[in-house]
Structure 1
Amino acid sequence: MAPQFDTAKFRFLSTDQRSRQPRKSYQTDVAFGDPFIVFDPPSDQYYLYGTGGTKNGFIAYSSKDLKTWKKEGKVYDAKQPNGWGEKDFWAPEVYRVNNKYYMYYSAHWKENPKKHLENYRIGVAVADSPLGPFKDLTGKPIFDPGYPIIDANVFRDKDHRNYLFYSRCCYEHPVESEIATWAEKKLGYKNIEESWVYGVELDSSMTKVIGNPVLLMRPPVTMNDAQSEWESRSVTSGEVNRRWTEGSFLVKENGLYYMMYSANYFAGANYAVGYATATAPLGSYQKSASNPIIEKNTNRGGVVSGTGHNSLFQDKEGKIRCVYHGRTLKTGDQRIVFISDVFFDEKGQLNIFTD
């Protein structure tokens, strides 16, 4: 279980118990993108982090019941001695480890001699409280793979090995595929840039990588791939010349690793979530035939679209829930936090109750 390494593990219910559980999905009043929730036993509260709400940093919300949220203010500020980020502070995730709280996040790196428009890297900050103040540990990104990266997710396995998952940005990453060939002929795009999900092991300090990153997931190459239709909607609709595989989140159930991810334009209606499974943290991963498992419902008479960048968390009763952002007809372009129940069926398929 990723969010709290030194406390209770995910307590997955049996199939019979899951079938009797009420399934709920609801919208909060918190305007965040890329939300992440953790339950903190010492304070008996939930804490919600995400993208937005402040400039050059992160704010947090607290709650006793997951429905009423209190704005707690800024918990990380880039203006600090070890601050390495310049702008675009995105997708924070917070983990409790040995009574310390570690925040992994994305930002635009100040060190940018080639003046890249997207110079994103991942950093880590630590605090004594879930409300901070979080202080950068190293004064620089965790590592520099030579290309921009975002959306950190950390997972500790039962053998106490740590893993960092992230997304290589689409920026300056054109990829040949049948989709790209089609888009060039039909839409006049010169190329299709893609983001890919990678994983790499972290050392015991959780601040340094071990070995080289491993490519875990990417958009489909062929048109007849079962995943091509939904993962390519932002391109085939003529919205943009990019395909995303981002916002990864890993969870383990019955010896199988489930990696959730988001595809399509993050600012568009087609943003959606799928998942893939593997028998080891670094793959290889097989995408689920049931994808996407979270997507817009406006085409079915609903009001929600742009659903994506999710994570899972365990509530105080042991139930597993999913948090993600979406847009509604009422909120327009503003991203709002949604919380839904999670269940695994008898076939081992991961399901998110969204309707």
Structure 2
Amino acid sequence: MIDWSKPLFLVIGTAITALCATAAVADNPIVPGQYADPEIRIFDHRFWIFPTYSASETTPDQPVVLSEQQREMRENPDIWSPFLKQTFMDAFSSPDLVNWTRHPRVLEVANISWAAYALWAPSAIQANDRYYLFFGANDIKDNEQLGGIGVAVSDDPEGPYRDALGKPLIGEIHNGAQPIDQMVFRDDDGQFYLYYGGWQHSNVARLSDDLLSLEPFDNGEFFKEITPSKDYVEGSFMVKRKGIYYLMWSEGEWTGPDYSVAYATSHSPVGPFENKGKILQQDNKIARGAGHHSVVNIPDTDDWYIVYHRRPLHSDDGNHRVLAIDRMIFNEDGTIKPVIMTDEGISPVTLP
């Protein structure tokens, strides 16, 4: 078993690789440090996780480089101080879901002229021979504030990612949904969709083939509200299995113990969705505040894994979040069994 509390690191260029014996089973948390909002993908026969940096302080190798405009944006007295630390994103890659390599600062505000803080909830996809990283920035509260959902591109999954537009892709509030917690989904027909939203409202939008603009729906509108439940809060995520679309999201206050994951189903990527209830919530013997997740399916199998953040039992700090992986199992009728949180984690997984 890996003792993640005592990692040794070898710095090779910009990649940091943990020097430890190959693990036979993963521990939860799966990596050292405080991270949240993990999205997992498979790129180039490796698993990749893109999370939000969630520690209250930056370390000496993580200086904040800001322009004068970005410093002015950070003068808002209403910004919660930990958000000021969220100025970059790390990524992690693994051949087996157990042994992880950290790739530091794959994206940072120094490369996003309109962003200054609250760099959140990345969503990655490979398309057009490039890698696209969607992100939220600046925690906007109204349409006068600069920020929202942006998109960055890179030739490699580990970055560095560069701002593709020089402005937000979605920079205003539509249907009451704060533009945060975006997730890009490619349907079987090749159409890209962007699911997002906070403040108890969820939207879906159609993306162009180059993923750099929005396309209207048949009725001419660009944003369709698909809020699946009165308890929806944030963290939309979409998967498709056997022709059924599973819209998943987080409920509860993100700084509290009742943060959790629920899901709904539909025969269409834009709904309507039928609420099926919660599948992940706190376990007073394991961890609290379990939410803002993503899901990965092992190709050519019906094996599924859920990656999520949770708060250690010993911590009451709302910003103290760590990453975990556990099994997610479907019933024969297509519903999802409640996820069992573990400290032991999972055994290594071999990609086909």
TM-score w.r.t. the length of structure 2 is: 0.72
Q: Is the 8 A contact 1:304 1:328 kept in 2?
A: yes
How do 1:25-44 residues align onto structure 2 when only pairs under 5 Å count?
26-30=28-32, 31-41=34-44, 44=45
CA-based RMSD? 2.5
Deviation sequence 1:200-240 (CA, Å, 0-9, x none): 111111111112211111543xxxxxxxxxx4xxxxxxxxx
Say whether residues 1:68 and 2:52 are aligned partners.
no
Q: Are residue 272 (structure 1) and residue 256 (structure 2) matched?
A: no
The one-letter code sitting in structure 2 at the alignment partner of 1:37 is: I
Q: Structure 1 residue 109: deviation in Å?
A: 7.4
Q: What is aligned with 1:153?
A: 183
Q: Structure 1: how far apart are the matches of 2:240 and 2:194? A: 15
**Which among 223, 230, 235 is matched to residue 213 of structure 1?**
223
Q: What percentage of residue pairs aligned between the two structures are identical?
A: 29
**Partner-residue secondary structure (3-state), 1:353:** coil
- Pairing 1:98–2:128 present: yes
Distance, in Å, in 2 between the alignment partners of 1:46 and 1:347 is 28
After TM superposition, the structure 1 = structure 2 runs for residues 249-268 of structure 1, keeping only pairs within 5 Å, are 249-268=237-256
The answer on 1:46 being equivalent to 2:47 is yes
> What's the offset of the Cα at 1:102?
0.6
Quick one: which of 287, 310, 313 aligns to 1:304?
287
**How many residue pairs were aligned?**
274
Q: What pairs with 1:117-266 in structure 2 (closer than 5 Å)? A: 120-146=147-173, 148-167=178-197, 169-170=198-199, 195-211=200-216, 212-217=222-227, 219-220=229-230, 231=231, 244-266=232-254
Paired residue type of 2:233: T
The CA deviation string for residues 37-91 of structure 1, in whole angstroms up to 9 with x for no partner, is: 22222xx4322211116641211122232223222211112112x5321210000
Q: In 2, distance between residues paired with 1:111 and 1:324? A: 26
What is the CA distance between 1:98 and its match in structure 2?
Answer: 3.4
Q: Distance in 2 between matches of 1:136 and 1:210?
A: 20
Identify the structure with the greater strand proportion. Answer: 1
Q: Does structure 1 conserve the Cα–Cα contact (< 8 Å) formed by 2:89 and 2:108?
A: yes
Corresponding position: 1:314 with 2:292: no
Separation in 2 of the partners of 1:217 and 1:262?
12
Q: Deviations over 1:252-302 (max 9, x none)?
A: 1111110011011111100000000111111101100xx21000111xxx1
5+ residue gaps, structure 1, are: 1-23, 171-194, 221-230, 232-243
In 1, distance between residues paired with 2:258 and 2:339?
18
- TM-score (norm: length of structure 1): 0.71
Counterpart amino acid of residue 168 in structure 2: P
Whether the 8 Å CA contact 2:228–2:274 is kept in 1: the answer is no
For the Cα contact (< 8 Å) 2:185–2:192, is it kept in 1?
A: yes
Q: Does 1:326 align with 2:310?
A: yes
Consecutive unaligned residues in structure 2, runs of 5 or more: 1-25, 59-85, 217-221, 342-352
- Is contact 1:341-1:352 (8 Å) kept? no
- SS class of match (1:79): helix
State the alpha-carbon separation in 1 of the partners of residues 141 and 110 from structure 2.
Answer: 16
Counterparts of 1:63 and 1:340, CA distance in 2 = 15
Instruction: Verify the 8 A CA contact 2:114 2:147 in the aligned structure 1.
Output: no
Q: Tell me which amino acid in the other structure corresponds to 2:214.
A: V
Contact 1:196-1:219 at 8 Å conserved across structures: no
> Which stretches of structure 1, 4 residues or longer, exceed 6 Å deviation after superposition?
109-113
Alpha-carbon distance in 2 for matches of 1:273, 1:113: 29
Residues 77 and 26 from structure 1, CA distance in 2 versus in 1: closer, same or farther, beyond 3 angstroms? closer
Distance 1:132 1:84 in 2: 19
